[in-house]
Amino acid sequence: MTCDLALKAIPLYFYGELTPSEEERVEQHMHECETCSRELERQRALGPALDRRRIEPSAGSLLRASPRSRLSSRPRRG
Ligand SMILES: [Zn+2]
């Protein structure tokens, strides 16, 4: 498998749209080729992150927890 084919196959690999024998060839190429295995890791990191965004609201809720409410919680006198 050439790098060009391997790179094109990476998205299909994640979507499970390759045949078992194609998957095998992609995996084999990833073992042999650092460039393509890095691209595979990059897409592996990106792909699930997009899906997980719906499940884990971590980053968003941290931003929203800014201490703005302190302004209105001053004790009143007189
Ligand atoms: Zn390659």
CA distances from residue 34 to 1, 13, 39 in whole angstroms, order as listed: 14, 17, 9
Mean pLDDT of 19-29: 96
Read off the pLDDT of residues 42-55 as tens digits, 9 standing for 90 and up. 988 886 555 555 55
Roughly how many angstroms between the first and final C-alpha of the chain, as a whole number? 80
Q: Tokens 């295995």 map to which residue?
A: 37
Q: Residue 47, Cβ neighbours under 10 Å: how many?
A: 14
31 CA distance to ligand 1 centroid (A)?
A: 9
Annotated domain spans of the chain: 3-55
Rounded to 5 degrees, what angle do the CA atoms 44, 11, 34 make?
60
Q: Ligand 1 is a single-atom ion; what residues have CB below 5 A from it?
A: 3, 6, 33, 36
- The answer to whether residue 62 scores a pLDDT higher than 70 is no
78 CA distance to ligand 1 centroid (A)?
A: 74
How far is 15 from 27, CA to CA, in rounded Å? 14
15 CA distance to ligand 1 centroid (A)?
A: 19
- The answer to whether residue 71 scores a pLDDT higher than 80 is no
Of residues 44 and 57, which shows the higher confidence score? 44
- The answer to whether residue 61 scores a pLDDT higher than 70 is no
